[in-house]
Homo-oligomer: A and B are copies of this chain.
């Protein structure tokens, strides 16, 4: 079953932009961080894909909640929660940081935003990191405040995003490097805008502080975007998989460590910093990971929706992986997916067999990410 009804209630929170996405014809949602994430509008995933690659889209990604950590011990606490060396993080910079537990299991993969020497946001994927941070802070008696502020990102993605954003917020926005942010005038307020987003087509995220401004911000961008052929959109499954953008809960969970996720470059083992899970992670690094994230290209015609993972086997039916996100790519003219692949089976070009729920066994090959 690819889609089924979603019952609405207060528990599944609306974002500041939900009224607008409903007005603009949203047809499907997912739930992330107890909040609605639009997943489909009136056009097909394929049409959305081509549009995203050519024009500009506006995405309600309010589900990327911020966990705000402020106080004297804020920097210390942030470093304790990630194997990445974040001592050199600069104000104005966004950093992708794996977060792990004491067994080196992945808890989340947020973007860390340093707002001041004693103030950080973790812009999170789908787990209640607020509770982890609060529990640690309380247990360790740290001098920090941990809260979820009224900050909801709105993404402007696609190759024409830069022209649109320069029209609205000034030419200075062109100077932002990838994963840098600045503070800009927006509707009479000062707002954080980062050059970032959950696509590889370029674009920005406006971290709207003040949910009451949500509809006005949407309208302002949509009006100005008409000349760039703007459309409402959402993270596009084809584009995301082609771009090798993983999703917490799909490609990896608490059962995976950062080395399996390909985050070796983000794991620091020097003696001059310590973090939760360092001992476990060092042991895993010494032994080498037992699986590794990979792309899989596979044929057999358009695969059905990947609501349940697709089993990946050898020719002899030995289980060597599972495709956790997969879809047909109209550009590559084959199916593409991401899978953790068992040791010995992750070399590029390895022939594999993908078992889809329609009963078809599809031949494929291990491929680098992004595709």
Contact = CB atoms under 8 A, between A and B. Distances in A.
B5 A4 contact: yes
Contacts of A3: 5-8
A136 interface: yes
A91 B4 CA distance: 40
Nearest to A26: B4
Interface in A275-324: 276, 305-309, 324
Nearest to A138: B102
A242 interface: no
Contacts of A8: 1-4, 305, 307-308
A249 B139 contact: no
A208 interface: no
Interface stretch (A28-36, A175-183, A263-271): A28-36
Given A4-B8, A5-B29, A135 B126 contact: no
Given A22-B1, A127-B131, A9 B325 contact: yes
Contacts of A305: 8
Contacts of A249: 9-13, 34
A143 interface: no
A140 interface: yes
A348 interface: no
Nearest to A234: B7
Contacts of A309: 10
A96 interface: no
Nearest to A40: B5
A122 to B, nearest CB: 13
Interface residues of A, number: 54
Contacts of A14: 308
A58 interface: no
A363 interface: no
A247 B4 contact: no
A52 interface: no
Contacts of A11: 30, 126, 247-250
A141 B276 CA distance: 12
Given A131-B128, A135-B134, A7 B34 contact: no
Contact of A137 (B40, B107, B139): B139
A137 to B, nearest CB: 7
B4 A4 contact: no
A307 to B, nearest CB: 3
A129 interface: yes
A26 B5 CA distance: 9
27 contacts: A1-B8, A1-B22, A2-B8, A3-B8, A4-B8, A4-B26, A5-B5, A5-B28, A5-B29, A6-B30, A8-B307, A8-B308, A9-B250, A9-B307, A10-B308, A11-B247, A12-B30, A12-B31, A13-B249, A31-B31, A101-B134, A127-B131, A128-B128, A129-B131, A131-B132, A136-B138, A138-B139
Given A3-B8, A4-B27, A5-B40, 10 more contacts: A3-B7, A4-B8, A7-B28, A9-B307, A11-B250, A31-B31, A107-B131, A128-B132, A136-B139, A138-B276
Q: Which 4 A-B pairs have the closest CB atoms?
A: A139-B139, A135-B135, A11-B249, A5-B28
